[in-house]
Amino acid sequence: MLTRRQFVAGAAGIAAGAALAGAGAQAGYTRKLGAAAEPGAGKTVAVRLSAAERPTALPCFGGRTLPLWTFADGEWPPLIRLNLGDRLEATLESRLPRPEEITSIHWHGIRLPNNQDGVPYLVQPPVRPGEVFRYSFVPPDTGTFFFHTHCNTVEQLGRGLLGVLIVDGDTTEPYDADVVLVMRDWRVDLDAGKFTPFFTLRGAGRAGTFGSVRSVNGAVNPEIRLPAAGDCRLRLINGDTTRIMQIGIEGAEAAIIAIDGIAISPVPLTSWSMGPAMRIDVVLRAPQGTRIARLVDRSTPQRVELARFAGDGEPRRRSRFSPAPLRAGRIPEPDLKTATRLRFSFHASDEDDRLVAAPDDGSNGPLGEICRSSRTFWTINDRAWPERDHSRLPPPLAVLQRGRSYIFQLKNSSKFSHPIHIHGHTFKLLRSNKQNRPVHHTDTLLLLPEEQAEVAFVADNPGDWMFHCHIIEHQETGMMGYLRVV
């Protein structure tokens, strides 16, 4: 069943260089990516995920118990761990407490068959309370992924319906620890012991609604013990519905070794922008003695300490920090010479931002309000998704030819950032006019205000694939569409 998280220990790290192409070499990281992993014979891993309300007293709730919605009893969030080549058979059962609440599981970042992608109405029937749905697929890539529902996501994810999916087989040599860190807010009023509204008009029309409690693995600024002076792998997941974090590590050396699960040649981690659903894998040289290293978010003027790392035991390594790289990814290489170019523009739904600027008037309605009003604030190519859910499908944003390479020119024409997510495929970032990042693969690309970026990929996976902003309130007020690969 669900494997236990291997919580080994805390780590240290000094925020090292800028994440620039070539910065790795400047930092003295000379080791090359390993050869791509080959899938093993593969076993079947069967899990049962039962979406239900489970009153839970996470450490970050300060003694309060809140009515979380989760996938499993026990540790939150659940972790599924596979080897490359293994088949996952996941049975989703809904025991959610409202008769009208539908659900499903989207396996974020996994390039799987379309009918396993977990978008209700588009690729599968919705799962109602008392019903089950069986997923069965073999993930084609190693790395750090996660899963969440794709219906009423602002509330279902907001209440805790997510889990971590790790596909092993990507290391070239063992790290001294392997730790999952799920970073997210909780929208709670701890005095009252209640959730606060998951959706607000003000948030939906702007940067989204932020939670009041920041957490890592359900705790406020936890201390994580790592083997002293070990090279420790940290799998950082932004599991929030809203918050874009500016992640750094203070007090230890650290390098990014993968983005959205896919290996990059290690680059020093100075600051890395992580929108909702984005992941990075980091290797950190753990502190020793009484030293402490810190995971921080610098997105606000007063930086926020998210977690602390401390070192245990005799120092593991004395060599200069030169993190072991991962094995190369297995994403098909797009043919840029023959690629078809398509433009996608991400917009506020009215040109002069009246709607977007306006709702600061106490109209922060609870969830139901938007359902009735069907308000839209956001568009892709001037089209807004018609409803919050997927029951009424518009035509696809574009029809792509299977096997063909595409270059998407993504333009954020709004004053807010948007992490843009594609299902069933993984983009290769080619260039951007605003952010200096190494060429890398990503399933969720953060577009800053007014940013233009180009991504390329091979449309090799047939079916209807969602293409949307992962700030869930943006997604659910229009910034959502799908691509059809035929």
In the complex, which residues of this chain contact Cu ion (CB under 5 A)?
418, 469, 471, 474
283 vs 370 by CB, closer to Cu ion: 370
Least distance from Cu ion to the Cβ atom of residue 363, Å? 20
Least distance from Cu ion to the Cβ atom of residue 92, Å? 27
d(Cα 332, Cα 329) in Å, to the nearest integer? 9
Least distance from Cu ion to the Cβ atom of residue 57, Å? 32
Least distance from Cu ion to the Cβ atom of residue 469, Å? 3
114 vs 444 by CB, closer to Cu ion: 444
Least distance from Cu ion to the Cβ atom of residue 105, Å? 22
Least distance from Cu ion to the Cβ atom of residue 261, Å? 22
202 vs 294 by CB, closer to Cu ion: 202
Least distance from Cu ion to the Cβ atom of residue 214, Å? 20
Beta-ladder partners of 215? 184
d(Cα 310, Cα 292) in Å, to the nearest integer? 5
437 vs 474 by CB, closer to Cu ion: 474
d(Cα 16, Cα 185) in Å, to the nearest integer? 27
d(Cα 90, Cα 46) in Å, to the nearest integer? 6
Start-to-end CA distance of the chain, whole Å, equals 36
Least distance from Cu ion to the Cβ atom of residue 345, Å? 13
CA dist 166 → 84, 96, 188 (Å): 10, 26, 29
| Rg (alpha carbons) of the chain, rounded to whole number | 21
What region, left, alpha or beta, does residue 272 occupy, with left being phi > 0 and alpha being psi -120 to 50 degrees?
beta
133 vs 346 by CB, closer to Cu ion: 346
Q: Please say whether the beta carbons of 96 and 161 come within 8 A.
A: no
Phi, psi of 395, deg, nearest 5: -65, 160
Least distance from Cu ion to the Cβ atom of residue 474, Å? 3
146 vs 346 by CB, closer to Cu ion: 346
277 vs 296 by CB, closer to Cu ion: 277
69 vs 198 by CB, closer to Cu ion: 198
Least distance from Cu ion to the Cβ atom of residue 466, Å? 14
* CA proximity to 150, closest of 377, 396, 466, 420: 466
262 vs 469 by CB, closer to Cu ion: 469
Q: Please say whether the beta carbons of 112 and 103 come within 8 A.
A: no
Neighbours of 36 (CB within 10 A): 16
418 vs 437 by CB, closer to Cu ion: 418
383 vs 404 by CB, closer to Cu ion: 383
Least distance from Cu ion to the Cβ atom of residue 4, Å? 35
Phi, psi of 294, deg, nearest 5: -135, 140
Least distance from Cu ion to the Cβ atom of residue 266, Å? 30
208 vs 251 by CB, closer to Cu ion: 208
